[in-house]
Amino acid sequence: MSTAAPSPRPPRSRWFKLVWIVPVVVVGAALIVLAANGIRSIPAVKDFMTTYPGQSSLPSWAPVGFPAWLEWQHFLSSFFLLFIIRTGWQVHTTRRAEAYWTRNNKGLIKTKGQPVRIPLHLWFHLTMDVLFVLNGLVFYVLIFVSGQWVRIIPTRWDVIPNAITAGIKYASLNWPTEDGWVNYNALQLLTYFVTVFIAAPLAVLTGLRMVPGLAGRWKPLDKVYPAAVARKLHYPIFIYFLAFIVVHVTLVFATGALRNLNHMYGGSDDVNWIGFAFFAGSLVLMVGGWFAARPVLLASLASLGGRVGR
Ligand code: HEM
Ligand code: HEM
């Protein structure tokens, strides 16, 4: 009889964790749905949900539907964010970049001492940030001029109990009836508010604090708002954006896809394929942009304002 040495254990796959994560998530979700349905059947909760049906009312002058400019801006923010997220992830994960960009120091903002040298993907991150911010500023101005702001900024305190009702409805899988063309449900309103007026400005304020070349100029800020704090905050904001986008796009498709797509891509409240067709076109542009934004193209664009090298 040969005494074979015990064979070494095969290394655990990095997917092994899923063996317990998936069941925990499934059971957790099922419990939440059961609990939410249980809560809904309590008479006091029923009363509460009748008093606060899930939507705050809007003033009579509130605009109905979305003008074309708003739809364009929604598309442009999504387009720029695609690249901001991609390059943000590259900044997060790349230790040694394939190419670096050194600014020629001829622009408006000149840096003292060492010329600024940054990875090419950070150059692209910052370039897309500028476009995202310009688009966002136009959006801020136009929603206030047009009155569209009233649909994504809470103006009444009952938005809180209404959001609780909407939350119970989502959790019990009996989702709020979608009426986005006229008035968002309270939870939707609060989420858009947080995204547009909290997450986006925070991304900008924390991002700006880290911009190489600018960071050094803001010495007086070092005590009150150190760059290290900005770096700690910037990443969780990125995670917020990812989570928002996943939930947002899932709900757009799960709560009447054709009608919703017509809202934001087709300029109507109808159910037909027009909005879908524009949405599909926008996806083609995004996929095309994704593949076009190769280092070769980025390097030639970046060399307009600096020197690209290793
Ligand atoms: C005006 C807006 C923004 C500016 C000026 C900006 C600027 C920057 C800068 C300078 C860095 C490099 C930080 C470093 O040296 O480590 C960075 C990293 C990053 N950015 Fe932004 N950013 C902006 C918006 C955004 C947005 C909207 C997102 C996500 C939706 C985002 C996601 C990221 C991520 C994930 C990183 C990597 C962070 C890490 O390594 O932990 N950025 N950004
Ligand atoms: C490409 C995938 C996306 C699709 C298909 C999509 C679709 C939609 C739709 C259909 C609406 C109107 C909802 C309704 O009528 O109930 C909407 C609104 C909105 N979306 Fe998206 N969206 C996408 C990506 C994004 C991204 C990346 C962001 C920003 C992070 C975003 C932010 C918003 C905001 C803030 C609103 C409210 C706009 C307003 O009323 O002023 N969306 N989206």
Residues 232, 140, 54, 263: what is their CA dihedral angle, to the nearest 10 degrees? -110
Output the pLDDT for position 109: 60
The pLDDT value recorded for residue 51 is 97
**pTM over cut 0.75:** yes
Residue 5 has a pLDDT of 60
Chain-centre distance for alpha carbon 211: 21
DSSP letter string, 229-287: HHHHHHHHHHHHHHHHHHHHHHHHHHTTHHHHHIIIIISSS--SSHHHHHHHHHHHHHH
Please check whether residue 263 is in contact with residue 251, taking contact to mean a CB–CB distance below 8 angstroms. Answer: no
How far apart are the CA of 244 and the centre of ligand 2, in A?
10
Number of the ligand closest to the Cα of 201: 1
- Residue 102: beta bridge partners? 117, 307
Residue 110 scores a pLDDT above 70: no
Residue 103 — pLDDT band, cuts 50, 70, 90? confident
Least confident of 15-24, 234-243, 282-291: 15-24
Tell me the per-residue pLDDT of 245-284, one tens digit each, with 9 for 90 and over: 999 999 999 999 999 999 999 999 999 999 999 999 999 9
CA-CA-CA-CA torsion sign (146, 140, 176, 156): negative
Mean pLDDT over residues 117-146, rounded?
Answer: 97
Mean pLDDT on 13-25: 87
Is pLDDT at 6 greater than 70 in this prediction?
no
Q: Which of 5-9, 178-182, 213-217 is least confident?
A: 5-9
- Please indicate whether residue 190 or residue 216 has the higher confidence score (pLDDT): 190
Q: Say whether pLDDT at 26 is over 70.
A: yes
User: Three-state SS for 90?
Assistant: helix
Q: What local confidence, expressed as pLDDT, does residue 112 receive?
A: 64
| Alpha-carbon gap, residue 248 to 257, rounded angstroms | 12
114 or 190: which leads in pLDDT: 190
Average pLDDT over residues 222-250: 95
Q: Cβ < 6 Å from ligand 1: which residues?
A: 81, 84-85, 88-89, 91-92, 122, 125-126, 129, 133, 203-204, 207-208, 210-211, 231, 234-235, 238, 241
How many angstroms does the Cα of residue 264 sit away from the middle of ligand 2? 7
Q: CA-CA distance, 196 to 192, in Å (whole number)?
A: 6
Nearest-angstrom CA–CA distance, 84 and 102: 20
In this structure, what is the dihedral angle of CA atoms 32, 22, 232, 195, given to the nearest 10 degrees? -50
Protein residue whose Cα sits closest to atom 40 of ligand 1 = 92
Residue owning the nearest CA to atom 1 of ligand 2: 78
- Look at residue 1 and tell me whether its pLDDT is greater than 50: no
Tell the residue nearest (CA) to atom 10 of ligand 1: 211
Query: Please, what is the angle between helix 18-40 and helix 159-171, to 10°?
Result: 120
Residue 294, amino acid: R
Mean pLDDT computed over 128-147: 98
SS3 85: helix
CB 267 within 8 A of CB 259: no
Residue 273 C-alpha to ligand 2 middle, in angstroms?
18
Q: Return the percentage of the chain with pLDDT > 70, whole number.
A: 93
Instruction: For residue 212, give the DSSP letter.
Output: T
pLDDT digits (tens, 9 = 90+) for 48-72: 999 999 999 999 999 999 999 999 9
Q: Is 18's pLDDT higher than 90?
A: no
pLDDT of 222 > 60? The answer is: yes
Can you tell me the distance from the alpha carbon of 250 to that of 238, in angstroms, rounded to the nearest whole number?
A: 18
Tell me the pLDDT tens digit for each residue of 144-193: 999 999 999 999 999 999 999 999 999 999 888 678 999 999 999 999 99
88 C-alpha vs ligand 1 centroid, how far in Å? Answer: 5
- pLDDT at res. 116: 83
